[in-house]
A and B are shown apart, each in its own frame.
Chain A
Amino acid sequence: MSRVVEQIQAEMVSNVLKIVVTVGDQIGPGDTVVILESMKMEIPVVCESGGVITEIAVHEGEVIQEGDLIAVIDSDQVAEPLVP
């Protein structure tokens, strides 16, 4: 079986204001991964499935484009299966 990973991507052009997690952190569904700044607002980006952070692809202060990868989460360790 392939590993279940969640790739968190940017929804819009934004500035990375703050990275809240570090690689190896265990986070749950709805937890904040990074805080972006766009349209003069601070927008928390939350994880859908929960799991372990395996990669953070951005750094604070960086301007990212729509669709850019922000972080990768290994969701294999979550007990509940993902909702389809």
Chain B
Amino acid sequence: MTALAQVPDLESRDPRDPSLRLENLFDPGSLRELNRRDESGVYTARGTIDGAAVVAYCTDATKMGGAMGSEGCRHIVDAIDSAVRQRVPVIAIWHSGGARLAEGVEALDAVGLVFAAMVRASGRVPQISVVLGPAAGGAAYGPALTDLVIMGPAGRVFVTGPDVVRSVTGEDVDMERLGGPDTHGRRSGVVHVTVDSEAGALQAARTATALLAIQGSFDLSAAVRDNEVDLATLMPDSPQRAYDVKPIVAALLDEPPLELHTRWAPNVVTALGRLAGRSVGVIANNPLRLGGCLNSESAEKAARFVRMCDAFGLPLVVLVDVPGYLPGVGQEWDGVVRRGAKLLHAFAEAVVPRVTLVTRKSYGGAYIAMNARSLGATAVFAWPGAEVAVMGAKAAVGILHRKKLAAAALEDRQALHDHLAREHERIAGGVNRALQLGVVDAVVEPADTRRRLVEALAAAPAGRGAHGNIPL
């Protein structure tokens, strides 16, 4: 099942052994028990990750399938409360069938106390879940209440299992399709990171923990590197051509980022990484997917990410290349107004330094939503040739001069449209009007972008939002 080569007595230990799982999570030799391994179905300990103190709890799948009873839940509540007192991250490892049936309502009450402890800790200390087996029923909401959810190949999260689903709705589905990595990584957005091995999932939790717990500070001397990539070379020649924004995000950062929700709402990229030595959050429109449009899911994904970064004091870098909101009946009925409002709220509320860069275009309502000056951006930069407008010049004159265009002879119409568009662009388009108004602070060269971003973020007062991190 698991690659556990570093453990000498592999043969004698069950791979589900919670002490083994926590040993594999922590730095070697750093595990200190918070409770003895008992019949409660929960094992808790403190330890270190890259030297940073953390608290962790693990449901014990070798005891009644990891089902949660009152005693085990008390261990979890104690672990979370102690992490909050020490201001250290909490990592949860899930492999549990849910509440213990034999305990009845007592177990339900205990699971509720766990949820309450998680919410008390929300926004105060990072909470990271690693789902390595089934997390069913009550246990499903454990991971869901935390800041980041990482799932291994055997991870399954669902409220009601295949048998109940079949008996009530007649749908025939297995545990994996109901709540496995593909389902939650691609369709539901419950899981932030899917990893194809248990060891990899624990490693991802270590990476995320280090980014949140060991944030570092901006090193201005590291803002310019010897081998700096000119970001302009990563852009397509045609301004109409879509491209993948991920290489640009990677080139900006010190090392490859930890991308969250890679396959859910892929038209916006959310990633944790380091920029000139400091942990930051990056939000980027991805033109390769849906043309980079914002839609209901991507707005919600970005909003939750912004709030998480704000809650833990991570500065934000916002890369904008957005043609607008995705039009359509489906989007409106899907609540793009309600869910899009979350992104406006999240940015406007955020007190961390947050710098916006418009690479190519920023149109309409999406312009505002992508951390515009009006929402309180620390700084707004644009690359030469970027367009900041209500819509593209051609579309704008099509509306503004509809009658004039209709009156023109058919053979002249295209030329007139082009002429009017150029005029419009001169007056209202490009980036000049935005510069005059001060909604864009400066035009920066792609090759100089990293330095300008770092300087702007480092100069801004550090902040940390005083709010919880509700799973939007």
Is the beta-carbon distance between A40 and B290 smaller than 8 angstroms?
no
Identify the closest chain B residue to A41 (Cβ). B291
Chain B count of residues within 8 A CB distance of the other chain: 25
Q: Which residues on B sit within 8 Å (CB–CB) of A62?
A: none
B128 within 8 A of A: no
Contacts of A66 in B (CB 8 A): 328, 330
Instruction: Scan A37-75; emit 1 where CB is below 8 A from any B CB, else 0.
Output: 011111110100000000000000000001000000000
Q: Is the CB–CB distance between A40 and B240 below 8 Å?
A: yes
> Does A39 contact B291, Cβ atoms closer than 8 Å?
yes
Query: Which residues on the A side are within 8 Å of B293 (C-beta)?
Result: 12, 39
A43 to B291, CA, bound (A): 6
Cα–Cα distance between A16 and B23 once the two chains are bound (Å): 53
Query: What is the bound-complex CA distance between A38 and B292, given in angstroms?
Result: 11
Number of A residues near B (Cβ < 8 Å) is 14
> A-facing mask of B249-281, CB < 8 A → 1, else 0?
000000000000000000000000000000000
Q: Which residues of B contact A12 (CB under 8 A)?
A: 290-291, 293, 326
* Contact status of A43 and B153, CB under 8 A, knowing A12-B326, A83-B196, A84-B196: no
Bound Cα distance A83, B151 (Å): 13
Query: Cβ of B242 and Cβ of A42 under 8 Å apart?
Result: yes
A13 within 8 A of B: yes
Contact partner of A41 (CB less than 8 A), chosen from B180, B196, B287, is B287
Closest CB of chain B to A48's CB: distance in Å? 10
- On whether the beta carbons of B288 and A42 are closer than 8 Å, the reply is no
Given contacts A40-B323, A40-B392, A43-B288, contact A84 B241 (CB under 8 A): no
- Report Cα–Cα, A33/B287, bound state, in Å: 16
By beta carbon, the residue of chain A nearest B153 is A84
Would you give the shortest CB distance from B63 to chain A, in whole angstroms? Answer: 28
Cβ–Cβ contact B180 & A84, under 8 A: yes
Query: B residues within 8 A CB of A39?
Result: 291, 293, 323-324
The answer to whether the Cβ of B89 comes within 8 Å of any Cβ in the partner chain is: no
Q: Does B395 contact A (CB under 8 A)?
A: yes
Residues of chain B with a CB closer than 8 A to A13's CB: 328
A25 CB-CB contact with B under 8 Å:
no
The A contact surface, by secondary structure, is loop
Chain B residues, Cβ within 8 Å of A83: 196
In angstroms, Cα B293 to Cα A41, docked, is 11
CA distance A21 to B218 in the complex (A): 46
Tell me if B433 counts as interface (CB < 8 A to partner A): no
Nearest residue in A to B392 (C-beta to C-beta)? A40
In the assembled complex, the Cα of A84 lies from the Cα of B287 at a distance in Å of: 25
Check B194 for interface membership: any CB of A closer than 8 A: yes
Residues of A within 8 A of B180 (CB): 84
The interface bits of chain A over 1-42 (1 if a CB of B lies within 8 angstroms of the residue's CB, else 0) are 000000000011100000000000000000000000011111
Give me the interface of A with B, judged by CB distance under 8 Å.
Answer: 11-13, 38-44, 46, 66, 83-84
User: Besides the contacts A41-B241, A44-B241, what 16 more A-B pairs have beta carbons closer than 8 Å?
Assistant: A11-B290, A12-B290, A12-B291, A38-B291, A39-B291, A39-B293, A40-B240, A40-B394, A42-B242, A43-B242, A43-B291, A44-B242, A66-B330, A83-B196, A84-B153, A84-B180
Binding site for A on B (CB under 8 A): 153, 180-182, 194, 196, 238, 240-242, 287-293, 323-324, 326, 328, 330, 392, 394-395
Listed A/B pairs (29) with beta-carbon separation below 8 Å: A11-B290, A12-B290, A12-B293, A12-B326, A13-B328, A38-B291, A39-B293, A40-B240, A40-B323, A40-B395, A41-B240, A41-B241, A41-B291, A41-B292, A42-B240, A42-B241, A42-B242, A43-B242, A43-B288, A43-B291, A44-B241, A44-B242, A66-B330, A83-B196, A84-B153, A84-B181, A84-B182, A84-B194, A84-B196
